[in-house]
Structure 1
Amino acid sequence: MTAPSGIAAVSLVLVATLLLGALGPRLSRTTCDFYVASRTVSPLRNASAIGGEYLSAASFLGIAGLILAHGADMLWLPVGWTGGYLVLLVLIAAPLRRSGAYTLPDFAEARLGSAAVRRTTTALVVLIGWLYLMPQLQSAGLVLRTATGTPVWAGAALVTVVVAVNVLIGGMRSITLVQAFQYWLKLTALAVPLVFMLLAWRFDGASGLTRDAPPVFPERTTVRVGAEVAVRVQRPAEVTVTGRLDGADLRARPVTLTAGTHRIGKDAVVTFPAGAAVPHVADLPARTGREWALPLSGRDNPLYGTYSLILATFLGTMGLPHVLVRFYTNPDGRAARRTTAIVLSLLGAFYLMPALYGVLGRMYAPELLMTGRTDAVVLTLPGRLVGGAAGDLLTALVTGGAVAAFLSTSSGLAVSVAGVIGQDVLRGGVRSFRLATVLALAVPLALALAARELAVADVVGLAFAVAASTFCPLLVLGIWWRRLTVAGALAGLLTGGTTAGGAVSWTIVGGTPDGTAGALLAQPAAWSVPLAFAVMAGVSLLTPRGVPAGTARIMVRLHVPESLDVDRGTWRPKEG
């Protein structure tokens, strides 16, 4: 893709986002407008907005990159991220809407009547929101660098400014319009290029994905390494190198890459002959085609990792603040259920496509395994398979979809985090919400610029693990178990947050160790979620006097349809 077409694609999406967001000031006048759009969003629009914010950079870019690198095991990510809405539909969608809360801390306080639980919930909402926002802003830098050649920090900063403007001027009403538009843009941006690429693959006839051999370059290939990397070479290869290789400066010099680990310098150019095995960046597994195509192969503790991933994605969805805040915008519990059912269809349609991008990337863009930029496979493939002006146009379309992906998710996260900070920290109305928006975006921007590069979907997966270990037990037990106590809720939240959060921090800061310890830290949900449930329930049983006095009343409110008025302690039809 040429730089002008990339700049045009990015500019169009940004302008459309700002124009739709500009409708916010006309529609948003009260605090209720800013926080929950006055609870008047229709199921289809709300479902489209949920799809827009939920299908993040991890979905648009990360899944394809993980499937390219890790293979069939990563198919559980889109399955889990979709299936999580089924759990949400069955267990919490309607009761959560009936709670009448603006935010998750509002629900926690209404259910348990405890300021301590509210403060703990507030801290966790902000932590999860920031952990989720960081990879969105990193992806912004990646996409804008690929599309326009700008520095990574510039892309992250630009997206932060655009999101801040939209949220500041119109709150939830503006974001709902923007995110609904961005879902359909993302679906189109993946689907249209995929049709052309599948036709090109069909006539090309490339295959060999399941061979018991590592991936190879299908033709003579020149690879430019954007950042210094350590790569593992499985089979010796005669290559031509311009740049630094293992500490030596080379100028278009033929050398033999021997089997083992080599360090390639920034901006080095390496040319491989056709049929040469693709070196893999050191932190990616070097899998044969057979290992890549079969699940539960080629990694430590694969069965544990798979089940932990399933648990995190299925249960983590209900604990994501930017997802939950959407159900407060529906008119009633019935509309919340309809919204969730539509979301399942929208997500199912979308998630068919990133997996196909990952498969095609294994055949046509294997050099990404060497540079480590597997998240760029979606942006690379249209130009590689189609080429020419058509390839540039398709790449521009995909780039626009990627921009929409991190804009929409960042917007939803900013609203949810700002809502909590505005209510619980700054304790004000619209003005506090706007100040909180700046705080909600400034911290993850700093983290994104300071942190080392991580796979986008990996970081999001860790955020899911924290959400599943904290808010999932609180919501499930808070809605369905009247014996939950303040002490039990606090103990469970702290246990889940400490264990899963500790594993997340260890993984991000120190990397993942080998063996069983590495598997437990990389995928903590399989042990942190049951532990949080057990602690929350066990401490509640040990402190029966801690059940709040108004539990019976709030439980009736959560489970009785809105057509019955229980606010005065009697069941009667509401007027009107």
Structure 2
Amino acid sequence: MNPVFDLIAVGLLVVATAVMGFAGVRVSRTTGDFFVASRSVRPVWNASAISGEYLSAGTFLGLAGLVLLSGSEGFWFPIGYAAGYLLVLLFVAAPLRRSGAYTIPDFVQARLRSLAARRITSIVVLVIGWLYIVPQMHGAALSLGVVAGMPRWAGAVVIAVLVAAIVAAGGMRAITAVQAMQYWIKLTALALPAIVMLIVLFGADTRIDPAEAFPVEAGPAGTDAYATLSLLFALLLGTIGLPHVLVRFYTSPNGASARHTTVLVIVMIGLFYAASSTMGLIARVVAPEMAEAGLADTVVLALPTKVLPGLAGQLLTALIVAGAFAAFLGTASGLVVSLAGVVSQELFGGTVRGFRISAVLCTLVPLVWSLITIGEGLVSSVGTVFVFAASSLTPVILLGVWWSRLTARGAIAGMLVGAASCGGALIAFRIVGPDHGLWSSLLAQPGAWTIPLSALAVVVVSLLDRRRRPPSEGFLSRLQRPDPAPRGMGGRD
């Protein structure tokens, strides 16, 4: 493998990201610019940006590796990831935009009028964000190590420096342009090589026995029913609890635009998952040995040169490497901009200067953690974040929008119970291990019981709370009311 083309591709991506990011600095002046891009991002642009930040290292590299390892079981991840946006569309996209908030803690405080609930929400949001950023940095370290033999810290540092600089300089307005560009780079970086390799393989005699490429034990017959259903449940609900996803709906001009954006997101990420899953299927045919060698997360980087030895394979590999770094940058920048908004409001009064300081701090913490830990499977790492978000934050957001009897104490109880039960289960699984049957499944994929437990805690504590405070006058009706008749593309809120 020739690292020259790969390093050139990464360099070009970094330059393009820096140019677009710092170009946004010229129009980023106000608090609204930094936090929510002045609520002026139109559906196609916003959908591209959401897709650019949502499609992370776990999707770009890890999904194909998971399909290589587990066959049809791996397809539950893209199904859950994409279907989660249906729930966002139905239940929270427009209401969150109508709330007028800048961040999730803003929404919780406006809904519950509780400083304590706001602070607990801020902590949960930070934990979710940092858990999600770390796999992006591990993925960057892995990619540069594979293609260029660079030390494992190099990729993480490159991502951290670039993300912190762009977010601190231009905030949400600058990041929106960067993420939108990166979505189309990522889609091209997987779809084009996949199409080329399919064309080449279609005319080749691979002589691969289908029973060998797709063994029964890797198909539905070998699937743990509880673990699969629990995982799908967590993926469906986890999207609602991801702060970097939800904050983007605050950038839409109105509720109708937020819903339109969500529909476009479902289409865009569906196209990407089709390309990523296809790469996994190709890997099962041409590179099954990489699964046994423990190299599943890097199989996407190796496929082009296996199918097309020579210059063509090297150029396609360089394109994939650029796409991988676009995935790391897009997701990490979206997470940092959402977390910086929270930290800035909690610690620095919500000023532009405070936002910039917060952006650096919110990048530094996961960078340090990524440097002292060793990355595991990228898809499983991201899946853990979805389970935690669904258990700790999703019930509060859903009930905050649609249940008038929710109280601050109920919300706090739900977040604490969800976070403690989910975090405890995942830690216990590390101790118990995978060889204890149903107990291991219950701990490895706890969403099926931690999410209902959290929701139950919210409801029970809220109903028992004798110092219940009703929602502020008109707030719930503003969240739930239908949008006015559209004018052109969307109505006004």
TM category (shorter chain) comes to: over 0.9
How many angstroms apart in 2 are the aligned matches of 1:422 and 1:511?
40
For the pair 1:348 / 2:274, whether they are aligned, the reply is no
Q: How far off is 1:552 after superposition?
A: 4.6
How many angstroms apart in 2 are the aligned matches of 1:143 and 1:389?
20
How many angstroms apart in 2 are the aligned matches of 1:574 and 1:357?
42
More helix by share: 2
Secondary structure at 2:393 match in 1 = helix
Q: How far off is 1:512 after superposition?
A: 4.7
Contact 2:9/2:318 (CA < 8 Å) preserved in 1? Answer: yes
Per the alignment, residue 271 of structure 1 pairs with none
Task: Give percent identity, aligned residues only.
Answer: 48
Secondary structure at 2:220 match in 1 = coil
Is the alpha carbon distance of 1:100 and 1:195 closer, same or farther for their aligned partners in structure 2, counting shifts above 3 Å?
Answer: same
How many angstroms apart in 2 are the aligned matches of 1:314 and 1:163?
28
Q: How far off is 1:424 after superposition?
A: 1.1
Per the alignment, residue 380 of structure 2 pairs with 458
How many angstroms apart in 1 are the aligned matches of 2:414 and 2:272?
35
Per the alignment, residue 19 of structure 2 pairs with 19
How many angstroms apart in 1 are the aligned matches of 2:232 and 2:284?
24
How many angstroms apart in 1 are the aligned matches of 2:43 and 2:125?
25
Query: Structure 1: which 5+ runs fail to align?
Result: 216-287, 565-572
Superposed CA deviations along residues 297-324 of structure 1, whole A, max 9, x for unmatched, are 0x6xx00011011101100001000000
How many angstroms apart in 2 are the aligned matches of 1:17 and 1:504?
36
Per the alignment, residue 59 of structure 2 pairs with 59
Runs (4+) off by over 3 Å:
207-210, 504-514, 549-552, 561-564
Among 483, 497, 507, which residue is 2:419 paired with?
497
Q: How far off is 1:112 after superposition?
A: 0.4
Q: How far off is 1:350 after superposition?
A: 0.9
Question: Where in structure 2 are the equivalents of 1:107-146 lying within 5 Å?
Answer: 107-146=107-146
Question: Where in structure 2 are the equivalents of 1:491-530 lying within 5 Å?
Answer: 491-507=413-429, 512=434, 514-530=436-452
Question: Where in structure 2 are the equivalents of 1:237-248 lying within 5 Å?
Answer: none
Contact 2:256/2:492 (CA < 8 Å) preserved in 1? Answer: no
Per the alignment, residue 488 of structure 2 pairs with none
Among 189, 213, 217, which residue is 1:291 paired with?
217
Superposed CA deviations along residues 224-254 of structure 1, whole A, max 9, x for unmatched, are xxxxxxxxxxxxxxxxxxxxxxxxxxxxxxx
Q: How far off is 1:574 after superposition?
A: 9.3
Contact 2:341/2:350 (CA < 8 Å) preserved in 1? Answer: no
Superposed CA deviations along residues 83-131 of structure 1, whole A, max 9, x for unmatched, are 0000100011100100000000000000001111101100000000000
Among 460, 468, 474, which residue is 1:547 paired with?
468
Q: How far off is 1:403 after superposition?
A: 0.7
- Aligned partner of 1:306: which letter? T
TM-score, normalized by length of structure 2?
0.95
How many angstroms apart in 2 are the aligned matches of 1:501 and 1:490?
16
- Aligned partner of 1:418: which letter? A
Secondary structure at 2:406 match in 1 = coil
Q: How far off is 1:209 after superposition?
A: 5.5
How many angstroms apart in 1 are the aligned matches of 2:306 and 2:22?
38
Question: Where in structure 2 are the equivalents of 1:294-309 lying within 5 Å?
Answer: 294-297=219-222, 302-309=224-231
Q: How far off is 1:551 after superposition?
A: 4.1
Contact 2:432/2:440 (CA < 8 Å) preserved in 1? Answer: no
- Aligned partner of 1:414: which letter? V
Question: Which structure has more RCO (C-alpha within 8 Å, separation ≥ 6)?
Answer: 2
Superposed CA deviations along residues 456-505 of structure 1, whole A, max 9, x for unmatched, are 11011000001111221011111111011112111111111111122334
Larger gyration radius, structure 1 or structure 2: 1
How many angstroms apart in 1 are the aligned matches of 2:99 and 2:124?
20
Per the alignment, residue 368 of structure 1 pairs with 290
How many angstroms apart in 1 are the aligned matches of 2:428 and 2:140?
25
Per the alignment, residue 557 of structure 1 pairs with 478
Contact 1:73/1:295 (CA < 8 Å) preserved in 2? Answer: yes
Per the alignment, residue 321 of structure 2 pairs with 399
Secondary structure at 2:333 match in 1 = helix
TM-score, normalized by length of structure 1?
0.82
Q: How far off is 1:147 after superposition?
A: 2.2
- Aligned partner of 2:385: which letter? A
How many angstroms apart in 2 are the aligned matches of 1:117 and 1:414?
22
How many angstroms apart in 2 are the aligned matches of 1:426 and 1:295?
52
Q: How far off is 1:507 after superposition?
A: 4.8
More strand by share: 1
How many angstroms apart in 2 are the aligned matches of 1:11 and 1:426?
35
For the pair 1:88 / 2:96, whether they are aligned, the reply is no
Q: How far off is 1:358 after superposition?
A: 1.2
Secondary structure at 1:92 match in 2 = helix
How many angstroms apart in 2 are the aligned matches of 1:537 and 1:574?
33
Superposed CA deviations along residues 345-392 of structure 1, whole A, max 9, x for unmatched, are 101111111112112112222232233121101111011101111111
How many angstroms apart in 2 are the aligned matches of 1:67 and 1:549?
49
Per the alignment, residue 332 of structure 2 pairs with 410
How many angstroms apart in 2 are the aligned matches of 1:449 and 1:205?
44
How many angstroms apart in 2 are the aligned matches of 1:179 and 1:209?
41
Q: How far off is 1:509 after superposition?
A: 7.8
Aligned positions, number: 488
Is the alpha carbon distance of 1:91 and 1:150 closer, same or farther for their aligned partners in structure 2, counting shifts above 3 Å?
Answer: same
Per the alignment, residue 6 of structure 2 pairs with 6
Contact 2:65/2:298 (CA < 8 Å) preserved in 1? Answer: yes
Query: Structure 2: which 5+ runs fail to align?
Result: 486-490
Q: How far off is 1:556 after superposition?
A: 1.2
Q: How far off is 1:135 after superposition?
A: 0.4
How many angstroms apart in 2 are the aligned matches of 1:207 and 1:357?
19
Q: How far off is 1:163 after superposition?
A: 0.7
Contact 1:419/1:433 (CA < 8 Å) preserved in 2? Answer: yes
- Aligned partner of 1:403: which letter? F
How many angstroms apart in 1 are the aligned matches of 2:5 and 2:429?
38
Among 410, 413, 418, which residue is 1:488 paired with?
410
Is the alpha carbon distance of 1:348 and 1:7 closer, same or farther for their aligned partners in structure 2, counting shifts above 3 Å?
Answer: same
How many angstroms apart in 1 are the aligned matches of 2:470 and 2:159?
46
Contact 1:426/1:432 (CA < 8 Å) preserved in 2? Answer: yes
Contact 2:37/2:173 (CA < 8 Å) preserved in 1? Answer: yes
Secondary structure at 1:547 match in 2 = coil
How many angstroms apart in 2 are the aligned matches of 1:152 and 1:310?
32
How many angstroms apart in 2 are the aligned matches of 1:156 and 1:209?
40
Contact 1:296/1:303 (CA < 8 Å) preserved in 2? Answer: no
How many angstroms apart in 2 are the aligned matches of 1:14 and 1:325?
25
Question: Where in structure 2 are the equivalents of 1:220-259 lying within 5 Å?
Answer: none
